[in-house]
Amino acid sequence: MKKVKRRSVIIIIAFFLILGLSVYTAIFGIGDRGKAEYIKLGLDLEGGLSVTYEIQDEDYTKADVDDTRYKLGKRIDSHTTEYTVYEEGNGKLTCEIPGVDNAEEILEDLSVEGKLEFLDPANYQLWATGQEYVPALTGDDIKGAEAGIREDDNGISDNVVALTFTDEGAEKFEAVTAANVGDIVYIIYDNEMVSAPRVKTAISGGNAEINKIGSYEEADQLATTIRIGALPLTLKQVRSNIVGATLGTDAISTSIKAGIIGIILVFIIMIVIYRVPGVVASLSLTFYTFLVLLVMNLFNVTLTLPGLAGIILSIGMAVDANVIIFTRIKEELAAGTAVKQAVSNGFHNALSAILDGNITTLIAALVLGIFGTGTIKGFAITLGIGIVLSVFTALIVTQLLLNSLVNLGLKNVKCFGVAKEPKKTNFVKAGKFCAIASVLVMIVGFVFLPIYKSSKGSALNLSIDFAGGTSITAEFDRSYTLSEAETLIVPVIADAAGISEADISVQTVAGTNEIVFKTTELTDNGDDSQMTMVKNALAENFQATVSSADSISGAVSGEMSRNAIFSVILAAILMLLYIAVRFKDFKFGASAVLALLHDVLIVFVVYIIFRLSVGNTCIACMLTIVGYSINATIIIFDRIRENMAKIDTKKQGYTDLVNQSINQTFTRTIYTSLTTFVMVLVLFILGVASIKEFAVTLMAGILVGAYSSVCITGPMWYFMKTKLSKKEKTAK
């Protein structure tokens, strides 16, 4: 017994030492690492580099421009997941990249044409003398490129890029090597010879290698550029600026304040409801929060508003895991189980629900991280990190601390609380009416689409991210801070153009008196056009001169949209399959995905009716709802699965099974929704304007998720089980 108590004391002391070290590291850092302020921030929160290129080709198509935009984005993606690439005016492309630490490196990568060619000796001579030539192979014949390190016969290491050809490329490569045995095949990259291997024999199999590369980093970057391929268009850099944050200077400070206040309120709620376990959860969640900051710093994750959404969701899931465990402990105590055994049983009984809920959401995060781009990938990375750490802190840290306290003598039931007998609400019966109400809300919402189309010109209030707009660069007689520009200049522009202030984003340009305003598309034809009115207003009120005003395309390209849709659909399919296999019933997976679709559509109706801006923040909000909704659904399904082993459905029927399961998990749904809602509510109260819109839709999503998990998901599974299954129709 003394040994157990000694070990418990050591665990508690070790926890506080590790917690103290993590807090110290986050505040002060260790060396040049760990400090929370070192976390990279995105364009929306900090600003970064804006570089504009002019297309040099005379004849090109819209497809060429879109393809070039996409490939520029993929090159930036190797440095950071957060960026925008859009078309500006006629024949210009602008890239905006967060942070400026590695600006020169990124600019160098963007300036590379990426043109790869294989030349036989005859064509090499033509190339060398500046004459026209025909390459044996080009970058289009390459299927893959990977950096590696090889050792020659003398044991000397060499950095290489291993190339894999397409089927057609493999045939071409075999032909050119067979025709030049004993001669050299030259590999030309961006008009420079990078390798000149001598052919010993015809090479089949579709593989080749570029060797003698200076460093592994160079080889890795070369491999990345080759995989992406050459840019379809020739570009020339015409402008490069350091720009300010698009969400304003107060976005970070207000979000940090909101986060601190929100977490403190969550701690208070947990302690009031769960007493001593609530204190343990608060300590565990504190450790979790600093752990997330440290891991984001370690892996150089760029934090943006969508990334912040991923963190909020993961904190909600971390709280949820503790709520599930503590609810199970209170149930065990209500059944008369001794405290020590109740704690052990509580963690054991909660394990499957926590793992299934988090694994399902992690599947979505992995798919979005692999196939998504930009905003979606940033969201997925922060969510994935949060999920892994939340499971660790709930199942390991919380369990160790709580068990240690119990071993040290904390065995009074009053310190834990006892679960009350769950109510006996008939959710199956209510589910019919709820489903009808949800369908009616969706119908009403989508009816507004044609109405807005005819009255306002567009069915949805698409932001600049999707619809594009006008970029205005104005030079003032003095420098303005971003905050001053937002409060003094933006209202004047909005009034002159007859648009909403929310439709205008602002970016300052470092080292100049210039400010860039991005708005919805403005008319520019005649003395009474919107653009003319804006120019006059700026001149009269601020003695400002508009140096350029160009139409800009949406930052979300068609390729990015297709990737987003594909990744979300794939994630839904994989989640469906996981749930179906894990719960040994396809109906669980089908009803979970349908409930998820219900939540997304209901929140989308909010966007439609209230004309909220549909852009990157909308994507982040929808993805957050997907993760939140599926987790809530899993909790109820886990209880249904557990109760199926206890209830004789032939006698009691599936109605009692579903109602009992929902009633047993009802308090969990309320408490989890309450804690997550409180965090987002504080963000809404303290946040800047754009964050307020984001927060209000998240709050709507939390409420809809709680509603659907209780009133839609269970009844939907019941319907599928009893109405769509012949063998089980009798057991209602």
Is residue 248 predicted with pLDDT exceeding 60? no
Digit-coded pLDDT (tens) for 249-264: 566 777 778 888 888 9
587 vs 376 pLDDT, higher one: 587
% of the chain residues with pLDDT over 70: 92
pLDDT of res. 417:
86
- What's the CA gap between 43 and 84, in Å, rounded? 9
pLDDT of res. 717:
92
- What's the CA gap between 662 and 659, in Å, rounded? 5
- Residue 521 contacts residue 551 (beta carbons within 8 Å): yes
- What's the CA gap between 559 and 587, in Å, rounded? 34
pLDDT of res. 557:
60
DSSP, residue by residue, 150-205: EE-TT--EEEEEEEEE-HHHHHHHHHHHHTTTTSB-EEEETTEEEE-PBPSS---S
Number of H helices, E strands in the chain: 23, 17
Q: How many Å separate Cα 613 from the centre of its chain?
A: 18
Q: Token pair 């996981």 is at which residue? A: 578
By residue count, the chain amounts to 732
Is residue 157 predicted with pLDDT exceeding 90? no
Residue ranges of domains in the chain, CATH in brackets:
2-39+248-415 (1.20.1640.10), 47-108 (3.30.70.3400), 116-230 (3.30.1360.200), 427-445+558-728 (1.20.1640.10), 469-552 (3.30.70.3400)
- What's the CA gap between 638 and 387, in Å, rounded? 19
- What's the CA gap between 601 and 592, in Å, rounded? 14
Q: Token pair 């120019």 is at which residue? A: 535
- What's the CA gap between 22 and 212, in Å, rounded? 43
- Residue 402 contacts residue 280 (beta carbons within 8 Å): yes
The closest of 546, 465, 540, 512 to 96, measured between CA atoms, is 465
Digit-coded pLDDT (tens) for 657-669: 999 999 999 988 8
- What's the CA gap between 105 and 650, in Å, rounded? 69
Structure tokens at 662: 């929902």
- What's the CA gap between 376 and 47, in Å, rounded? 19
Beta strand residue intervals within 509-646, DSSP E? 514-519, 545-552
- Residue 521 contacts residue 467 (beta carbons within 8 Å): yes
pLDDT of res. 28:
82
462 forms beta bridges with 614
Burial of 327 (0-12, 13-18, 19+ CB in 10 A): buried
Among 30-34, 427-431, 449-453, 575-579, the least confident range: 30-34
- Residue 95 contacts residue 51 (beta carbons within 8 Å): yes
Of these ranges, 50-54, 492-496, 674-678, 697-701, the one predicted with the greatest mean pLDDT is 492-496
Structure tokens at 619: 């994507």
Count of C-beta atoms within a 10 Å radius of residue 420: 10
Digit-coded pLDDT (tens) for 266-280: 999 999 999 999 999
- What's the CA gap between 481 and 464, in Å, rounded? 23
- What's the CA gap between 136 and 141, in Å, rounded? 10
Question: Any idea what the Cα angle at residue 631 is, between residues 628 and 637, rounded to 5°?
Answer: 145
- What's the CA gap between 619 and 608, in Å, rounded? 14
- Residue 61 contacts residue 119 (beta carbons within 8 Å): no
Mean pLDDT value of segment 600-625: 82
Digit-coded pLDDT (tens) for 627-637: 778 878 888 99
Of these ranges, 3-12, 74-83, 218-227, 453-462, the one predicted with the greatest mean pLDDT is 3-12
- pTM equals 0.74
Mean pLDDT value of segment 581-603: 88
pLDDT of res. 690:
65
Q: What is the DSSP letter of 684?
A: H
- What's the CA gap between 318 and 288, in Å, rounded? 8
- Residue 522 contacts residue 530 (beta carbons within 8 Å): yes
- What's the CA gap between 86 and 700, in Å, rounded? 31
Among 174-178, 299-303, 348-352, the least confident range: 299-303
Structure tokens at 250: 């107060």
Q: What is the DSSP letter of 33?
A: B
Average pLDDT, the chain: 84
- What's the CA gap between 318 and 727, in Å, rounded? 39
30 forms beta bridges with 33
The closest of 452, 454, 379 to 618, measured between CA atoms, is 379
- What's the CA gap between 714 and 224, in Å, rounded? 47
Sequence-distant (≥ 6) Cβ neighbours of residue 480 within 8 angstroms: 488, 489, 508, 513, 515
Structure tokens at 704: 């809809």
Q: What is the 3-state secondary structure (H, E, C) of 230-296?
A: CCCCCEEEEEEEEECCCCCCHHHHHHHHHHHHHHHHHHHHHHHHHCHHHHHHHHHHHHHHHHHHHHH
Question: Any idea what the Cα angle at residue 633 is, between residues 616 and 718, rounded to 5°?
Answer: 130
pLDDT of res. 249:
56
- What's the CA gap between 465 and 552, in Å, rounded? 10
**CB neighbour burial string for 87-125, b if at least 16 within 10 angstroms, e if fewer:** bbeebbbbbbbbbeeebeebeebbebebbbbbbbeebbe
Q: How far is CA 255 from CA 43, 300, 689, in A?
A: 16, 20, 12
Q: Token pair 């005003």 is at which residue? A: 549
The closest of 274, 111, 288, 299 to 191, measured between CA atoms, is 111
393 vs 86 pLDDT, higher one: 393
- Residue 420 contacts residue 335 (beta carbons within 8 Å): no
Q: How confident is the model at residue 521 (pLDDT cuts 50, 70, 90)?
A: confident
Structure tokens at 135: 């390459």
pLDDT of res. 726:
55
pLDDT of res. 247:
64
- Residue 267 contacts residue 289 (beta carbons within 8 Å): no
% of the chain residues with pLDDT over 90: 24
**CB neighbour burial string for 592-631, b if at least 16 within 10 angstroms, e if fewer:** bbbbbebbbbbbbbbbbeeebbbbbbbbbbbbbbbbbbbb
Q: How confident is the model at residue 240 (pLDDT cuts 50, 70, 90)?
A: confident
- Residue 596 contacts residue 633 (beta carbons within 8 Å): yes
- Residue 262 contacts residue 686 (beta carbons within 8 Å): no
